[in-house]
Amino acid sequence: MPLHDWAALPGWEGVHQVWIVELLYWIKPRLPQGYRAYIGVTPTFAIGAPAEERPDVGVRDWPPADGPQAPPPKLPSATPDNPAEEPDQEMAVATLQGEPALLIERRGLLIAAIELVSPRNKDRPAACAAYASTYVGYLLKGIHLLLVDVHRRPVQFSFADQIASELRLDQSACPAPFALAYRVGEPAPRGGRFLAVWRRPLTVGSPLPPLRLPLSVQESVLVDLEATYMRAAAAAYLG
* Spans of all domains in the chain: 12-42+96-238
Per the DSSP assignment, residues forming a β-bridge with 109 are 106
Whether the predicted model's global pTM rises above the 0.85 cut: no
What's the pLDDT at 79?
Answer: 62
Buried b (16+ CB within 10 A) or exposed e, 62-95: eeeeeeeeeeeeeeeeeeeeeeeeeeeeeeeeee
What's the pLDDT at 231?
Answer: 95
Within a 10 A sphere around the Cβ of 190, how many other Cβ atoms? 5
For residue 29, the 8-state DSSP code is G
Rounded average pLDDT per 10-residue block, the chain, 239 residues: 88 94 98 96 49 33 47 58 67 63 95 96 94 94 96 95 94 96 91 93 96 97 97 80
What's the pLDDT at 69?
Answer: 55
What's the pLDDT at 49?
Answer: 38
